[in-house]
Amino acid sequence: MTIPLSTRILGYLIEKGYSHVLAKNEEDSETGILTITLFPIRQKPELENLPDEIETYYLITQEPLQMACGVDNSTVVVIDLPMDENMPDVLPNDILEDSSFRLSEDFYQQVLESLEEYAVFTTDKMGDVSSWNKGAERLLGYSDKEILGVNAKVFFTEKDQETNEHLKELENAMKYGKGIDERFHVRKDKTVFWGSGLVFPLFDTHNVHRGFTKIMRNLEEIKDANSHRPKTSL
């Protein structure tokens, strides 16, 4: 059964032991729409022995998580859901209607541990940091002991704090299911960088709002890497 990708189904698959996904890309020649189909698997595949029509594979808590957070209008991401004896209670309508970022504790811990190239942290409902991954420490400069309990507004410039951009981000996340922004962020040493951020309301299994999850990436690193790529001639 093929369904649209969502964070909820990723969490469910991880809890059932799926660790990677195979990826197949198909582009509609008339509309230009790219469809990415993901096939969950429980073991890391060998790149040189991928099945026909499979371009690559991903760790399930990395690129697929980013895809589930949102892609551009010309890309559709679906997942071929394995309907076996371990997943009898997955209902398509329940999955399709789920627009919130609901994570179990086990799933979230796996996300934190695997996404070292991203800053990933959670806050309570007031915006105070409640968990912190290695990517966040590398990007923003704070250890978990230094930042836990501190309000996440410290990552915003003084100008943005004055206009309450940090609060608007949380309000948008609650209103629309996620808050998306690209802006300057501030490190512990007060240097700034241009980065992208995704903020999601975080719910428990009883649908009670517990706080927020933020995924941040330094876009300047990408820009610098692209500028150093060798140019190819036609």
**pLDDT tens across 43-78, in order?**
888 888 888 889 888 888 777 876 776 666 788 888
Spatial separation of the C-alpha atoms in residues 112 and 132, rounded to whole Å: 8
**What CATH number belongs to 105-224?**
3.30.450.20
Spatial separation of the C-alpha atoms in residues 181 and 150, rounded to whole Å: 21
CA nearest 70: which of 193, 170, 197, 204? 197
pLDDT of residue 116: 58
Phi-psi region of 190 (alpha: psi -120 to 50; beta: other; left: phi over 0): left
Domain ranges in the chain are: 2-98, 105-224
Query: DSSP letters of 8-60?
Result: HHHHHHHHTT--EEEEEEEE-TTT--EEEEEEEESSPPPGGGPPTT--EEEET
Tokens of 188: 């512990």
Compute how many other C-beta atoms are within 10 angstroms of the C-beta atom of residue 211: 20
φ/ψ of residue 200, rounded to 5: -125, 140
pLDDT of residue 179: 83
Q: What is the pLDDT of residues 144-203, one digit of tens each?
A: 899 999 999 999 999 999 999 999 999 998 888 878 888 999 999 999 999 888 888 887
Tokens of 179: 């808050």
pTM above 0.85, yes or no: no
Higher pLDDT, 209 or 82: 209
